[in-house]
Amino acid sequence: MADKTGSPAPASGRLLEGVTAVVAGGGSGIGQAIVARFAEHGAVVEFVDINQSAVAETERELRGRGLGVSGHVADVSDPGQVAAFAEKVAARHATLGALVNSAGIQRYGTVETTSPETWDEVFAVNVRSMFLLAKHAVPLMRRNGGGAIVNVSSGQAVASQRNVVAYTASKGAINAMTRAMAVDHAAEGIRVNTIVPGSVDTPMLRASAAAIAPDDTDRVISEWGAEYPIGRVGQPAEIADACVFLASPLASFVTGAELRVDGGLLAGVALRSPGEDE
């Protein structure tokens, strides 16, 4: 999907009509929502996830809605498995128009309590997977004069919570890698951007909430949401909609950007102003 200067949105209103897209981490959460939204906007989506049952269920549900999706099982942190997946995509499609890297894991610990093995695990899934998939995507995008890569990062790349050193470092690395990729491949018509979400109601977030209150995760998530200016946590579809924008012709002049989709969380500070209500 080469971007043309001033390209209008398709008349159909489907922003990704005819685009072949790859989505990593598409079996659940934000990735699953991205697969659905891309297909709803006319893309043919090849998605990959390590969870076989999640792949099968997502494929069954979305195909049942008449959407053009195909699921694959692979560990996207493994170079051999990514290469094999890329070969399948290349064999099925002449070109690639979009790649969304949304696979990710979260582990807890400080620099003192995090083991080297955990550090390596987080960076393998959160960063190396994006490097590997982009490495194979760029040549396919070059075939049709360009494309769009969207890397899903986190607000933790900008402002960190306590006890998440590996996760925070990995998300900062994603933002830096995105900038480098954007500069390297802009002349080829390949745009590379980052989505920076806040807390989103996904299985990962609910697992974190369950670690605090196993019998009342909704309360914990509601309390987290109350800290956001918008008053709630995000929904996966809201992140997916932002990814559609960045992958579409509407974003033809956007590359190297970090788009915050965080309900205003990073726009303010926690300190109170004089005269502010307690």
DSSP state of 82: H
State the Cα angle at 244 between 239 and 249, rounded to 5°.
145
For the chain, report the end-to-end CA distance as a whole number of angstroms. Answer: 52
- Beta-carbon contacts of residue 235 (< 8 Å; ≥ 6 apart): 33, 200, 201
Closest CA to 96 of 49, 134, 132: 134
Catalytic residue among 167, 224, 228, 245: 167
CA gap 171, 177 in Å, rounded: 10
Task: For residue 113, count CB atoms less than 10 angstroms from its CB and return exposed for 0-12, middle for 13-18, buried for 19 or more.
Answer: exposed
102: left (phi over 0), alpha (psi -120 to 50) or beta: alpha
Establish whether 228 is a catalytic residue. Answer: no
Q: Which residues are catalytic?
A: 167
